[in-house]
Amino acid sequence: MAQHVRAALTPEIHPVDLHQSEGATLHQAPIDLHGLLITSPRSTFLLRVSGQSMRDAGILHGDLLIIDRAIEPRAGHVVVALLNGGFTVKYLRQHQGSWQLEAAHPDYPTLRLDHFDDVQIWGIATHSIHTADAIVRS
């Protein structure tokens, strides 16, 4: 049975299917990362993550989040929120009629939004881009 591996070979980002069989051929087709990751260019921005509060959701310190401000926030979304002037990235949850921001790490508390004077949901995280473990982050 063939094993498929996707790899970028050139700056144009061409995926390659590598088969573990004799006589295998390489098939290349261009990938449009912008088209795949960004559905609303005018309302999308990148945010660099600082901290570990979303670690268990696979969002790590130093990752780039693609944030779409055109998406209507709903419970369960990973949101970028501005709370009393400070940004945070958390799950948006509703519990017993109260809106909350919940971390994906047991050491971080749940934040009830009614405990803050100024709350703004800036956007929804649609994708997280992080460096592979074998590559050292700068």
Report the domain count for the chain. Answer: 2
For residue 134, tell me if it sits in a domain.
Answer: no
Q: What are 71-89's pLDDT values in tens digits?
A: 999 999 999 999 999 999 9
DSSP letter (8 states) at residue 28? B
Q: Let me know whether 54 and 108 are in one domain.
A: yes
Q: What are 26-52's pLDDT values in tens digits?
A: 556 787 888 888 888 899 999 999 999
| Chain mean pLDDT for the chain | 82
Q: Let me know whether 100 and 45 are in one domain.
A: yes
The pLDDT assigned to 27 comes to 58
Q: Let me know whether 60 and 4 are in one domain.
A: no
The pLDDT assigned to 34 comes to 82
CA-CA distance, 130 to 66, in Å (whole number)?
A: 11
**Segments forming the whole domain that contains residue 46:** 39-129
For residue 75, tell me if it sits in a domain.
Answer: yes
Q: What are 90-102's pLDDT values in tens digits?
A: 999 999 999 999 9
Please tell me the pTM assigned to this model: 0.75
Cβ burial 75-86 (10 Å sphere, 16+ → b, else e): eebbbbbebeee
Show which residues are catalytic. Answer: 53, 90
The pLDDT assigned to 131 comes to 82
The pLDDT assigned to 7 comes to 36
For residue 136, tell me if it sits in a domain.
Answer: no
Which DSSP helix (H) or strand (E) runs through 34? helix 33-37
The pLDDT assigned to 3 comes to 38
The pLDDT assigned to 47 comes to 94
Q: What are 5-31's pLDDT values in tens digits?
A: 333 333 444 455 554 555 555 556 787
3-state secondary structure of 112: strand
Q: Let me know whether 22 and 68 are in one domain.
A: no
Q: With contact defined as beta carbons under 8 Å apart, do 81 and 120 qualify?
A: yes
Q: Let me know whether 119 and 68 are in one domain.
A: yes
The pLDDT assigned to 32 comes to 81
